[in-house]
């Protein structure tokens, strides 16, 4: 009898629930119709319909998704973006996929306080700066990836297709990243396989002789995963000079292969992973500088080969303890060839070979939910060899090159305290011993106070502040190398020291659908590594500047009312000074503004637009390079799907306004550039995880 009574009660409850649900549906239908009518005359962004339930909501993106956002770069400790005391932006594979751009420069240029420029067309040397400085630490899968030659990360040799996540942490990160992290830390994570096995094929072409081909296979389950991607990108280039004439010998050709294999061990308590990256790039130099004239140099070109291997072992035997051990090898070969032409009667070459061996071990101890203590050790060994030969060049004497090595040991400690999920305090220090520059200490402390907003349920107000010190060590190239006789080394260079701090406030509205952030930062350098050139021979020399400063403001507005519309607007003001000359530091614009919009009204259709502007920048001394405005747009359309095979059309247009964008004086990037092509995704077995 009791069982029948329970069954009857369940039926009654189900009937009541259905009645209420229908009433809500009718009410919701009226609301949706009203909103659609309003959006037709206003903005389509007000649509409240959500993407299909099977499409999982992504974690942190540059647009600030509604859910909590985990940050993995801060000492291997998982935190949320909401509680982070540093200014952090995250780009996920979903962001890169929606915009379909193969270039890292296009994605990074959408972030606040980040400036990425090239000296010409695709494949040219890039300048990557955070808050005005190029002293940025870059890691791939936790291992240092900037070049041992000059401590810079060459974005032109890497494409977005094989990255799953990019985290950009602004401000001095000497404690977390080690040396050469005074401007910030950029963490790139290689794609890994998920779900049923699938194949991705892409083929595209554009003007300026641009072609792109890609093939990838991936898959994974609870025990293992794998990813293999092959990318080829070719362009005839489009470098323009003073009068707007396009240089024909500005081609670029790169082949990249990426593999990522992971295996879970010990009943899921451990994981071993191996990641391999290989890239082979060739770039025609295209021009040569002589005073205010730009001369064609059709026989000059450079070649670059990078080999990167990382082995990772993660172990979590207890809830209160986990560890991560990484071993990496980064080998790079840079060749520059100069051949005789109408101007250069001689010829020569520069060859740089460098290898970096890295070992990192970190141990995290968790005490309940309020304290995380991390202890770690880092060993880094760099080997460098350069061979130069300009024996027949009448302008530059012969230079035989240099060989050497450096050894660096780091021990670091980091502690994160969580007080009632309101106050988050992070502090720690890193002790660095460098074979060339001695021993340094890099402390860092930061805090974030997160409070619920009065009468705004679901929203919060966050106050954040950080202070840190960091060092930037000169490279072996700056101390002993030489490129084409254009830059003399300085074996007496000192390590550069930074003292920096920032403060900021973040406010969300409408249940975190809108986020507004404003902050101030100040960086003071001692023994800043700069250079000066001889006015007669134009040969430059590296040197230490007693003091240099970069101060500024940064602000951003992010709006994501639903999963169909995303918008971000960033503004940065930077004021820099070289104490020796009184001029601004090179390549630091005073004003920078960028914005991005992505609209996905249907699962099979997505469109985006972005714009970035920069004011004039100092090129050298008091000479400046003009500002610019770059507008780009694109779309991705699913044409059709047949039995697990999905075919998409991708179209991108860059520099729509045909602006003269330049990093160096008289060197301008191409005009209007477009690419179009097909992307095919095939699910070869099992249930499909999700569609692009």
How is 565-633 classified by DSSP, letter by letter?
A: EEEEEEEEEEEEEETTTSSPPTT--SEEEEEEEEEEEETTEEEEEEEEEE--EEEETTEEE--EEEEEE
β 184-190/198-206 pair status: unpaired
- Rounded CA separation 403/481 (Å): 9
Name the band, by pLDDT with cuts 50, 70 and 90, for residue 441. very high
- Which letter, b or e, does each residue of 590-607 get, where b requires 16 or more Cβ atoms within 10 Å of its Cβ? bebbbbbbbbbeeebebb
* Integer CA distances (angstroms), 323 to 66, 316, 317, 514, 559, in order: 30, 7, 9, 37, 37
What is the structure's pLDDT at 369? Answer: 85
**210 touches 234 (CB < 8 A):** yes
Name the band, by pLDDT with cuts 50, 70 and 90, for residue 607. very high
Would you give the DSSP letter of residue 103?
A: B
pLDDT at 45 over 70: no
Q: For 128-156, what is the mean pLDDT?
A: 83
pLDDT at 311 over 70: yes
**621 touches 581 (CB < 8 A):** yes
What is the structure's pLDDT at 581? Answer: 82
* Integer CA distances (angstroms), 119 to 83, 125, 183, 414, in order: 38, 6, 21, 39
DSSP H/E element including 58: none
- How confident is the model over 166-187, as pLDDT tens digits? 889 898 887 888 888 888 888 8
What is the structure's pLDDT at 118? Answer: 76
Token pair recorded at residue 216:
């990838």
Name the band, by pLDDT with cuts 50, 70 and 90, for residue 21. very low
What is the structure's pLDDT at 578? Answer: 87
What is the structure's pLDDT at 541? Answer: 79
Entry pTM:
0.84
Name the band, by pLDDT with cuts 50, 70 and 90, for residue 37. very low
Residue with tokens 């694109």: 634
- Rounded CA separation 558/568 (Å): 4
Burial class (CB in 10 A: 0-12, 13-18, 19+), 562: middle
3-state secondary structure of 660: coil
What is the structure's pLDDT at 7? Answer: 42
Percentage of the residues of the chain whose pLDDT score is greater than 90: 42
- How confident is the model over 443-482, as pLDDT tens digits? 999 999 999 999 899 999 999 999 999 988 887 778 876 6
Would you give the DSSP letter of residue 474?
A: P
- How confident is the model over 61-108, as pLDDT tens digits? 333 332 334 555 555 555 677 888 888 888 888 888 888 777 888 889
Where is pLDDT greater, at 29 or 396?
A: 396
Where is pLDDT greater, at 54 or 585?
A: 585
Name the band, by pLDDT with cuts 50, 70 and 90, for residue 309. very high
Least confident window among 353-367, 551-565, 659-673: 659-673
β 487-488/540-562 pair status: parallel
- Rounded CA separation 433/413 (Å): 15
What is the structure's pLDDT at 215? Answer: 96
- Rounded CA separation 625/661 (Å): 9
Kindly give the residue spans of alpha helices, DSSP state H, lying in 518-571.
Answer: none
Domain definitions of the chain by residue range: 2-42, 70-683
Report phi then psi at 570, rounded to 5.
Answer: -125, 140
- Rounded CA separation 483/152 (Å): 16
Number of residues written out for the chain: 692
**134 touches 125 (CB < 8 A):** no
DSSP H/E element including 6: helix 2-41
CA atoms within 13 A on the CB side of 482: 24
3-state secondary structure of 60: coil
Mean model confidence pLDDT for the chain = 80
DSSP H/E element including 177: helix 174-177
DSSP H/E element including 24: helix 2-41
**502 touches 474 (CB < 8 A):** no
3-state secondary structure of 46: helix
What is the structure's pLDDT at 352? Answer: 81
Would you give the DSSP letter of residue 458?
A: T
Three-state secondary structure readout of 294-343: EEEEEEEEEEEEEEEEEEEEEEEEECCEEEEEEEEEEEEEEEEEECCCCC
Token pair recorded at residue 683:
């699910």
Least confident window among 125-129, 318-322, 439-443, 563-567: 125-129
Least confident window among 210-224, 262-276, 314-328, 607-621: 607-621
Q: For 135-158, what is the mean pLDDT?
A: 81
What is the structure's pLDDT at 437? Answer: 87
Beta bridge partners of 312: 273, 326
Where is pLDDT greater, at 121 or 524?
A: 524
What is the structure's pLDDT at 12? Answer: 40
What is the structure's pLDDT at 586? Answer: 83
- Biggest alpha carbon–alpha carbon distance for the chain: 108
Candidate CATH numbers 2.70.70.10, 3.40.50.970, 3.90.50.10, 2.40.170.20; the one for domain 70-683: 2.40.170.20
Token pair recorded at residue 371:
């304290």
DSSP string covering 662-673: -SSTT-B--SSE
Token pair recorded at residue 655:
């520099």
- How confident is the model over 483-493, as pLDDT tens digits? 544 567 788 89
DSSP H/E element including 216: strand 210-220
- How confident is the model over 262-292, as pLDDT tens digits? 999 998 899 999 999 999 998 886 555 444 4
């Amino acid at each position: 009898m009791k069982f029948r009574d329970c069954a009857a009660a369940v039926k009654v409850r189900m009937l009541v629930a259905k009645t209420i649900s229908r009433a809500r549906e009718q009410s919701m239908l009226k609301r949706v119709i009203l909103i659609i009518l309003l959006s037709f005359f206003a903005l389509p962004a007000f649509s409240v319909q959500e993407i299909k339930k099977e499409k999982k909501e992504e974690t942190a993106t540059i647009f600030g998704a509604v859910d909590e956002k985990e940050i993995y770069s801060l000492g291997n400790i998982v935190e949320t973006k909401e509680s982070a005391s540093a200014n952090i932006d995250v780009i996920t594979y979903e962001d890169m996929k929606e915009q379909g751009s193969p270039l890292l420069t296009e994605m990074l240029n959408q972030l606040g306080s980040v400036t990425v420029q090239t000296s010409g067309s695709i494949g040219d040397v890039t300048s990557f700066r955070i808050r005005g400085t190029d002293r940025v630490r870059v890691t791939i899968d936790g291992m240092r990836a900037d070049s041992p030659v000059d401590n810079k990360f060459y974005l032109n040799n890497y494409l977005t297709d094989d990255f799953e996540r990019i985290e950009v942490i602004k401000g001095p990160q000497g404690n977390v990243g080690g040396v050469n992290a005074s401007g910030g830390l950029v963490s790139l994570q290689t794609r890994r396989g998920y779900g049923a096995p699938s194949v991705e094929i892409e083929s595209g072409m554009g003007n300026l002789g641009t072609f792109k081909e890609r093939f990838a296979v991936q898959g994974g389950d609870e025990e293992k995963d794998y990813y293999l991607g092959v990318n080829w990108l070719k362009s005839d280039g489009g470098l323009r000079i003073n009068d707007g004439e396009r240089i024909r010998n500005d081609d670029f050709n790169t082949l990249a292969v990426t593999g990522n294999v992971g295996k879970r061990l010990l009943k899921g308590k451990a994981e071993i992973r191996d990641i391999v990256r290989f890239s082979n790039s060739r770039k025609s130099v295209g021009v040569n500088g002589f005073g205010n004239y730009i001369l064609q140099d059709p026989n000059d070109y450079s070649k670059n080969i990078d080999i990167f291997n990382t082995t990772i072992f993660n172990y979590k035997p207890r809830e209160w303890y986990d560890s991560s051990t990484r071993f990496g090898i980064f080998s790079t070969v840079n060749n520059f060839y100069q051949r005789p032409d109408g101007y250069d009667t001689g010829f020569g070459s520069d060859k740089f070979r460098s290898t970096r061996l890295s070992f990192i071990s970190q141990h995290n101890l968790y005490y309940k939910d309020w304290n995380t203590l991390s202890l770690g050790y880092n060993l880094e060994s760099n080997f460098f060899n350069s061979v130069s030969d300009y024996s027949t060049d009448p302008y530059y004497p012969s230079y035989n090159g240099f060989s050497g090595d450096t050894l660096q040991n780091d021990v670091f400690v980091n502690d994160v305290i969580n007080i009632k999920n309101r106050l988050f305090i992070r502090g720690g220090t890193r002790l660095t011993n460098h074979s060339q520059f001695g021993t340094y200490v890099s402390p860092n402390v930061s805090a974030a106070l997160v409070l619920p907003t009065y009468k705004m349920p679901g929203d919060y107000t966050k106050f954040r502040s950080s202070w840190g010190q960091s060092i930037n060590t000169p490279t072996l190239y700056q101390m002993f190398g030489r490129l084409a006789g254009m830059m003399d080394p300085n074996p007496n260079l000192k390590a550069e020291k930074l003292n920096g701090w920032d403060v900021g406030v973040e406010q969300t509205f409408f249940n975190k659908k809108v986020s507004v952030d404003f902050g101030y930062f100040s960086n003071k350098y001692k023994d800043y590594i700069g250079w000066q050139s001889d006015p007669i021979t134009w040969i430059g020399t590296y040197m230490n500047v007693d003091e240099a400063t970069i101060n500024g403001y940064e602000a951003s507005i992010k709006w994501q009312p639903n999963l169909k519309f995303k918008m971000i607007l960033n503004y940065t003001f930077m004021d820099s000074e070289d104490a020796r000359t009184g001029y601004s530091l090179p390549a630091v614009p005073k004003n920078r503004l960028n914005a991005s919009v992505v609209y996905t009204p249907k699962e099979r259709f997505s469109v985006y637009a972005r714009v970035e502007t920069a004011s004039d920048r100092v090129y050298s001394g008091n000479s400046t390079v003009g500002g610019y405005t770059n507008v780009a747009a694109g779309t991705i359309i699913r044409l059709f799907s047949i039995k697990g095979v999905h075919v998409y059309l991708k179209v991108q247009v860059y520099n729509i306004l045909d602006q003269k964008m330049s990093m160096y004086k008289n060197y301008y990037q191409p005009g209007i550039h477009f690419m179009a092509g097909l992307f095919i995704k095939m699910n070869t077995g099992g249930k499909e995880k999700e569609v692009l």
